[in-house]
């Protein structure tokens, strides 16, 4: 008699946790346009060390609310392969590399942790299966907080709150 009650209790708790999970809201970058970067020696050194070259592709977005645009940059085509592209996040005030990612698509969430927008990386592993890695700003860079796998309807629900940004050509 105790076993069925335990199973029902586990199902209720687990089902409730899944139902309570929030949909990701924010923007997802479909492709990256050419972006003009300011002339700065520190920035030039970071880009050279990472083999990034002109024309640079990326977006300007204020990630920490300081009123200064930060840069989400995509690696040049020559550095991209079947596994995807690399991405850098550069602080627009200090010109420090605060995030380094590889593969998938970058999501800038509307959620904030430690006064910075949360960054997520979406990586598909099949037509209706993907994992989402969540990165939060901690110390002086974005660090991995967690990874969750989604499939089918759960994946569609998770991505329903995103605004897709495509390159305008």
Q: What is the pLDDT of residues 28-79, one digit of tens each?
A: 887 888 999 999 999 999 999 888 888 899 999 999 999 999 999 999 888 8
pTM given for the model: 0.81
Planar angle of CA 86, 138, 117, nearest 5 degrees? 70
The residue among 95, 137, 98, 102 whose CA lies nearest residue 122 is 102
Q: Where are the domains of the chain?
A: 23-165
Dump strand ranges (E) for 8-167: 25-29, 57-61, 70-74, 86-90, 97-102, 105-113, 116-126, 129-138, 141-151, 161-165
Binned at pLDDT 50, 70 and 90, residue 5 comes out as low
Yes or no: is domain 23-165 CATH 2.40.128? Answer: yes
> Tens digits of per-residue pLDDT, 114-154?
999 999 999 998 889 999 999 999 999 999 999 999 999 99
């Amino acid at each position: 008699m105790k076993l069925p009650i335990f199973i029902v209790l586990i199902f209720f708790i687990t089902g409730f946790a899944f139902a309570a999970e929030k949909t990701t809201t924010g923007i997802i970058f479909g492709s990256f346009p050419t972006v003009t970067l300011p002339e700065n020696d520190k920035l030039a050194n970071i880009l050279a060390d990472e083999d990034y070259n002109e024309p640079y592709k990326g977006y300007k977005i204020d990630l920490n609310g300081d009123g200064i645009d930060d840069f989400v940059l995509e690696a040049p085509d020559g550095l991209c392969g079947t596994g995807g592209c690399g991405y850098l996040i550069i602080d627009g005030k200090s010109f420090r590399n605060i995030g380094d990612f590889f593969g998938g698509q970058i999501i800038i969430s509307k959620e904030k942790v430690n006064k910075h927008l949360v960054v997520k990386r979406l990586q598909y592993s099949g037509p209706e299966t993907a994992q989402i890695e969540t990165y939060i700003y901690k110390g002086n860079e974005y660090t991995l907080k967690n990874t969750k796998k989604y499939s089918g309807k759960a994946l569609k629900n998770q991505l329903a709150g995103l605004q897709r940004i495509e390159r305008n050509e």
